[in-house]
Amino acid sequence: MFHRIPLRAAAALLLTLATVSSQAQTDWPAKPVRIIVPFAAGGSTDLVARQVGQLLQKKTGQAVIVENRAGAGGLLGAQYAKTQPADGYTLLLGTVSTHSVAPSVYAKMPYDPLKDFEPLTLIASVPNLVVVNPARVKAGTLSEFAQVAKVQPHGFSFGSSGKGSSNHLATESLMTTLGSRAVHVPYKGSGPALLDTMAGNVDFMLDVVMTSTQYVKNGQLKALAVTSRQRIALLPDVPTVAESGYPGFEAIGWFALFAPAGTPVAVRDRVAAELAGIVKSKDMVAYLESQGAIASGIAGEAFRKYIVDDTAHWKRVADAAGVKAE
């Protein structure tokens, strides 16, 4: 037998259910949170993710698990993150490579950077260093490097965090600017590429300041230039690419957190608010500054526009350098 529910009672029930659902969404996090890093452990993206995870765990009291899923210049990890439940408990530590560079060089992408993800917060931006293995590359300046590169029988070799990644594209652009060529050796992240550069398995690479500076200071690598418009405080004696005789060259990386598309607005706003507090915290700002990075905190539509504009920039760079990936 069916019983009719009075209209007022039905409305009250719906309101109660909606309230419970909304509260469940805004009670985030009620269980451990995963941050997917689409590159290998030990690289710059991994370091940023672990610092964010540590501070998020301290702030919320919930465990934060950093999970590395490397491969294809970050595409595999981003593709995996796209398929996860849109509930705020799986986030992607995306980068300039996964969300600006890849769509500029790949004809087919396993995900749409903006349709498949909700941009939450731009964490930081960071310049690259042009670093060489001093035992293999006998050059003290970038202009000397350019001259030596031109007479190499097979060209210098360089490592990157993967085919179609930001440092792959930035290096190709740099070599075009220098009027030379080099052999690309892709890795599953900047960490392994940096280790092989120091081991002498490749000659040089462009790597973000935060992971390469320590090896420059201990002599395992030599920094020829920095890819920002101004010199950096961590290495004040290293000139910019522009100062080295190649005006206009700039290559900046960035790190940001994304949620899978379809994440409820209430959850998205709560996560973004927590992240905004972390990015602006004294601990995070101090950490980023110590690594040569600059804290950002751009969010919402402003961040979405930033990605659109940055993608257009890298598309111009890719076309000029003739870089395409299948």
pLDDT value of residue 17: 42
Domain of 198, in residue numbers: 127-226
Extract the tokens encoding 32.
């451990």
Query: What is the three-class DSSP state of 152?
Result: coil
C-alpha 32/C-alpha 114 separation (Å) is: 25
Question: DSSP states of 74-122 as a string?
Answer: GHHHHHHHHTS-SSSSEEEEEEHIIIIIHHHHBSS-SS-TTTSEEEEEE
For strands 117-132 and 252-260, give the pairing. antiparallel
Percentage of the chain lying above the pLDDT 90 cut: 78
pLDDT digit string (tens) for 63-108? 999 999 998 889 999 999 999 999 999 999 999 999 999 999 998 9
Extract the tokens encoding 291.
């690594």
For residue 184, tell me if it sits in a domain. Answer: yes
158 lies in the same domain as 302: no
Choosing from 180, 210, 226, the residue where a domain stops is: 226
| Count of all residues that appear for the chain in the document | 326
Predicted TM-score (pTM) of the model is 0.82
- Measured in degrees and rounded to the nearest 5, phi and psi for residue 75 equal -65, -40
138 lies in the same domain as 197: yes
For residue 113, tell me if it sits in a domain. Answer: yes
120 lies in the same domain as 256: yes
**Identity at 98, one-letter amino acid code:** T
For residue 287, tell me if it sits in a domain. Answer: yes
- Measured in degrees and rounded to the nearest 5, phi and psi for residue 222 equal -115, 130
Q: What is the mean pLDDT of residues 271-284?
A: 95
Does the structure show a pLDDT above 80 at 11?
A: no
Mean pLDDT, the chain, as a whole number? 91
Extract the tokens encoding 159.
């490592």
How many other C-beta atoms are found inside a 10 Å radius of the C-beta of residue 151?
Answer: 8
C-alpha 116/C-alpha 299 separation (Å) is: 17
CATH of the domain at 210: 3.40.190.10
74 lies in the same domain as 140: no
Choosing from 192, 226, 260, the residue where a domain stops is: 226
C-alpha 72/C-alpha 98 separation (Å) is: 10
113 lies in the same domain as 261: yes
Q: Which helix (H) or strand (E) holds 129?
A: strand 117-132
Extract the tokens encoding 215.
């090896």
135 lies in the same domain as 211: yes
pLDDT digit string (tens) for 173-217? 999 999 998 999 999 888 899 999 999 999 999 999 999 999 999
* Per-residue confidence band for 24, with pLDDT thresholds at 50, 70 and 90: very low
pLDDT digit string (tens) for 132-172? 999 999 999 999 999 999 998 788 999 998 888 889 999 99
Task: Report DSSP state, residue 239.
Answer: P
pLDDT value of residue 35: 98
